[in-house]
Chains A and B, each alone.
Chain A
Amino acid sequence: MKKIEAIIKPFKLDEVKQGLSEIGTVGMTVLEVKGFGHQKGHTELYRGAEYEVDFIPKTKIEIIVPDDKVASVLETIEQKAKTGKIGDGKIFVYDVAQTIRIRTGQTGNDAL
């Protein structure tokens, strides 16, 4: 099992969600985050004084997938979240040690 974390532009969430559901991936957790990478922030003016806005709002999607699905999920997210402009985001893949469904007690791939 792998955990896939994708940081994407917020307006891309619907497209990514749609794309994932089309390849049969069910379920995700979504967080509102802020951050920056190479896409720097910018300077704003407030009542005559300048200030830096470093952080940019992004959306983070977390999904746990069985190993055989990882490649198609990564491809889908990359495709749907891409705009070609700076700030498109990044995807990280982690190993998952264990998954449990609370309601039934199922573990491993059965819990996904």
Chain B
Amino acid sequence: MEFSVEMKYVLDSFWLLISGCLVMWMAAGFAMLEAGLVRTKNTTAILTKNITLYALACVAYYYVGYNLMYGSGNDFVGSGLMMSGTSADGHSLLSDFFFQVVFVATAASIVSGTVAERIKFWPFMGFTLVLTAVIYPIQGHWSWGGTSLGGMIDGFSDFAGSTIVHSVGGWAALAGVLLLGARKGKFGADGSIHPIPGSNLPLATLGTFVLWLGWFGFNGGSQLALGSKDDVDAVSAVIANTNIAACAGALAAMVMAQLLYKKVDLTMVLNGALSGLVAITAGPDYPSMNLAILIGAIGGLLVVFAIPMLDKLKIDDPVGALSVHLVNGIWGTLAVGIFNPDVALFAQIKGIVVIGAFTFFSSLAVWAVLKYTVGIRIAEEDEYNGVDVSEFGLHAYPEFVERQGA
């Protein structure tokens, strides 16, 4: 088929823009999912964090991050502040920026779930600033920025960001939670584990479905083009595979929960669907749908085991972000090495280790600086009263204390 160069430019840019809008919508998904899985006394806090981190991520990435990631610089880091110009590589530059910036916000929002219910707001924003302006862009410079860190991660393949976005968010969250500690009352002195149930399962479910829809942009848009038959065939495969991997993850978690716990746990099914999505993200283009089902299903199984395992390790993750994003970010990346004949497993492992180590240790350093200067955890009394009251002075559900009931 013949296609004018301008039409390709238009369609490629269009696809980046629409996909970027869908990925932005994932911010709503995270907000609802997290709000549903925390207690009512901590809901305002998590909602505030979700909208402010999205806003900060976009601004920080505009001023600093985008050029650290895509600017020419050297193999380790790019350079330049604030892009200028309108076109790049056959599509609109700003459509490229918009598409990339929403990915950064996604990585940052993964952290908020793991540290929920006991993190201090302003230090959290401080960490988010460094993550979105510096840490994420630097590791992104090596992969999507094309430098391969001087050849160290040659051959590493991560289509839409199982490692580059999801694991990065996961490593940053893990570094934070190790320094932050568990919520009061979660782990008993005798080693017992006390569940702290989420307050609003409808919101958690809504959040999951919203993320699912947004993911079609997250993965579909990562083809970065729509202006040819090959591109649209690829995008179609990506979206069909993304959807079916989520389904497989949900079903696998459903069955596993029934077998292990004798009942289907909604929160496991929700996490299962998300795990399938994270798992397929590294390679949604090459598999058949059968293979996508397998990859997603394994993701669903992994999360059902990872969640209690983290509890046993005394790592308190209120929303399962580490089990979903870190564990399956790694699995999804490895899966490409296992199943895609064009990608070497060793290249994937190298990428996971290099990017993981960089992200984890730089995040740990930032969290440590914050902890030992301003402190990152709210006071014990404030944790009992709820972060909403102590940090924000705003109840999410005020009718119980303020009004008689209308």
From residue 1 to 48 of chain A, which have CB atoms closer than 8 A to chain B? 9-11, 14, 32, 34, 44-46
B401 touches A44 (CB 8 A): no
A-B contact pairs, 17 of them (CB 8 A): A9-B384, A10-B384, A11-B184, A11-B384, A14-B185, A32-B400, A34-B401, A44-B393, A44-B394, A45-B393, A46-B394, A53-B401, A53-B402, A55-B402, A56-B401, A57-B400, A85-B381
Distance of B269 from chain A, by nearest CB (Å): 29
Contact bitstring B373-405, A, C-beta under 8 A = 1, else 0:
000000001001000000001100000111000
A51 at interface (Cβ–Cβ under 8 A)? yes
Interface centre among A51, A56, A57, A85 (most CB of B within 10 A): A57
- A14–B400 alpha-carbon span in the complex (Å): 22
Distance of B396 from chain A, by nearest CB (Å): 12
Chain B residues proximal to chain A, CB less than 8 Å: 184-185, 381, 384, 393-394, 400-402
A interface, size bucket: 10 to 19
Contacts of B381 in A (CB 8 A): 85
Interface majority SS (helix, strand, loop, mixed), chain A: strand
- A57–B398 alpha-carbon span in the complex (Å): 11
A55 touches B393 (CB 8 A): no
Chain A residues proximal to chain B, CB less than 8 Å: 9-11, 14, 32, 34, 44-46, 51, 53, 55-57, 85
- A45–B184 alpha-carbon span in the complex (Å): 28
Contacts of B401 in A (CB 8 A): 34, 53, 55-57
A34 touches B400 (CB 8 A): yes
Distance of B114 from chain A, by nearest CB (Å): 22
Contacts of A85 in B (CB 8 A): 381
New A-B contacts (8) at CB < 8 Å, excluding given A11-B184, A11-B384, A34-B401 = A14-B185, A45-B393, A46-B394, A51-B402, A55-B401, A56-B401, A57-B400, A85-B381
Distance of B153 from chain A, by nearest CB (Å): 48
Contacts of A57 in B (CB 8 A): 400-401
Contacts of B384 in A (CB 8 A): 9-11
Residue ID in chain B nearest A44 by CB atoms: B393
Distance of A11 from chain B, by nearest CB (Å): 4
Contacts of A14 in B (CB 8 A): 185
Contacts of A32 in B (CB 8 A): 400
Contacts of B394 in A (CB 8 A): 44, 46
Distance of A6 from chain B, by nearest CB (Å): 18
Nearest first, the 9 closest Cβ-Cβ pairs linking A and B are A11-B384, A55-B401, A44-B393, A34-B401, A53-B401, A53-B402, A57-B401, A45-B393, A34-B400
Contacts of B185 in A (CB 8 A): 11, 14
